[in-house]
Amino acid sequence: MEKPKARVDQTKCLSCGGCISVCPMDAIIMYANKSFVEEEKCTGCGLCAEICPVGAIRMAKMEVIVNQ
């Protein structure tokens, strides 16, 4: 089963914090001035990708990995 998850391209991230404030799951954290998605919390709603002003977030389908 595949689920879309948000992925941040840290080379593009401007640390504006917009994705963090919009995420309903609190799935995004700021680390070393770049945002990271905690994939286990992400529901794939896509709001963060929509709001990011530089297109640093993409929704990627990936295998849901269990027990790894």
Give residues with Cβ within 8 angstroms of 34, minimum separation 6. 8, 10, 13, 15
Least CB distance from residue 40 to ligand SF4, whole Å?
Answer: 11
DSSP state of 47: H
- Residue 50 near residue 35 (C-beta atoms within 8 A): no
Least CB distance from residue 35 to ligand SF4, whole Å?
Answer: 4
Residues that bind ligand SF4 (CB under 6 A): 6, 8, 13-19, 22-23, 25, 27-28, 35, 37, 42-48, 51-52, 54, 56-57
Least CB distance from residue 65 to ligand SF4, whole Å?
Answer: 16
